[in-house]
Amino acid sequence: AGAGAGADADSDTDTNAETSANTDSRAHTPVIPSTPSVSISQPAPSQPPLPTMSCPFGFDAKPYAKEAELRKAIKDVLITEKGNACPLANRLAWHASGTFCSKTKTGGSDGATMRFKPEATDGANAGLNIMRDIVAPIKEKFPDLSLADIWTYAGKMSVEETGGPKIQFSFGRGDQPDGKKCPPNGRLPDASQGAKHLREVFYRMGFDDRGIVALSGGHNLGVCHTDRSGYEGPWTSNPTVFDNEYYINLLNKEWVERKWEGPLQYQDKETGKLMMLPTDIALIKDEKFKPIVEEYAKDKESFFKDFAKYFSQLLHLGCEEAMKAKK
C-alpha cells in the first residue's frame, strides 16, 4: 500500500500497474480524533547507531557497463500507455529490502528471496507478483544481472522517474536458488500499528527516528488497494509524483476516522478523497517524529536529501558480503 511504513503491512506504494496518474493507481495543527488504535510509543528502545556497510557508502563498486540500456529497458516497462507502475516498483524494492535484521544479518535485498515461500506468501507482499512479472523480461535482456539488482534498481528509478532525488546505487547482489534463506514473515511494518511498532521494525534494520519519518515519505507515491492491504485510497493528490505533499497533508488537513467496513484508516474531512493509515497518523502524534514531519513539510530539499540517504541505505541492507565477493 505504499513505500513507507504500514499498509499492506507496510505502507509501501501499493499501486496497480494498470493504473495511470489520473486513475486509482498515490503549519497548522490537525484535529485528530483520539483512538486507542493509534498509539503513541511508550518507552521505546534507544535509537541504534546506523549500521556500517560498504555499499553504497565507501564501496568502490564496479560500474555496470550497460546501465544506460538497463535504465531505458526498465523505464519502458514501468511507464506505458496503460499506466505508471513506478509506485509498485517502489513497493517491491522496499519490501524486498525491509526484512533485514541488523543483529542476525538475515533478510535484506540480496537473494531476491521473495520468489519463494514463505516470503512470497507474506500478506504484506500481496500483489507484488504483478511487479515481479512486469520486470521479469528485464532479466532475459540482461542475464548477467541478478533479479535482486533489477528489483532494487527499479526501485531507485521509481523515485527518480517521478520527480524525486537521485538514489545512490551499487550493483552486485545475487539470487538465491531456493527459499532456504527467506526471512520469517512478519518483519515488514504493520499499517494498523503506532509509533512503538514503527521503532521496533525500523530499529531492527538499523534506522533511527529520522530514517523512519523520511522513509515513510515513500507514501508520496501510490495508493492502497483493498484486495492487497485491505486499505483504500491515495495519500496525495498525485500518486505518481514524488514530492513532499505527504507531509504537508499530514499537518494541514483534518483527519477523521473513515466510516466503512474495512480496517481503521483516516480520510481528510474536507473532501474524503485522501487517506492516511494509523502508522501515518502516528508520525504527527509522536513528539519526536512530529518535528521531522514539520521540517519536511516546509523544506522539500531537506526531505529529498534525507530520503535519498535512507532509501539508498535500505536498498543495500544485507548485500555487503555479496558485493565484496564480486568486487
Q: Which residues form the catalytic set?
A: 95, 235
Give me the residues paired with residue 259 across strands: none
The span from the CA of 151 to the CA of 320, in Å, is 17
204: enclosing H helix or E strand: helix 195-205
| Residue 91 main-chain phi, psi, to 5 deg | -65, -40
The span from the CA of 39 to the CA of 305, in Å, is 29
The span from the CA of 234 to the CA of 222, in Å, is 6
CB-based burial of residue 44 (10 Å sphere; 0-12 exposed, 13-18 middle, 19+ buried)?
middle
CB distance 254 to 270 below 8 Å:
yes
The span from the CA of 51 to the CA of 128, in Å, is 28
What pairing do the DSSP bridges indicate for beta strands 223-224 and 233-234? antiparallel
CB distance 128 to 168 below 8 Å:
no
The span from the CA of 68 to the CA of 169, in Å, is 14
The span from the CA of 293 to the CA of 67, in Å, is 35
Residues contacting 96, CB < 8 A, separation 6+: 109, 112, 113, 114, 148, 151, 152
CB distance 112 to 135 below 8 Å:
no
Q: Given the C-alpha cell 544506460, which residue does it identify?
A: 68
DSSP at 222: -
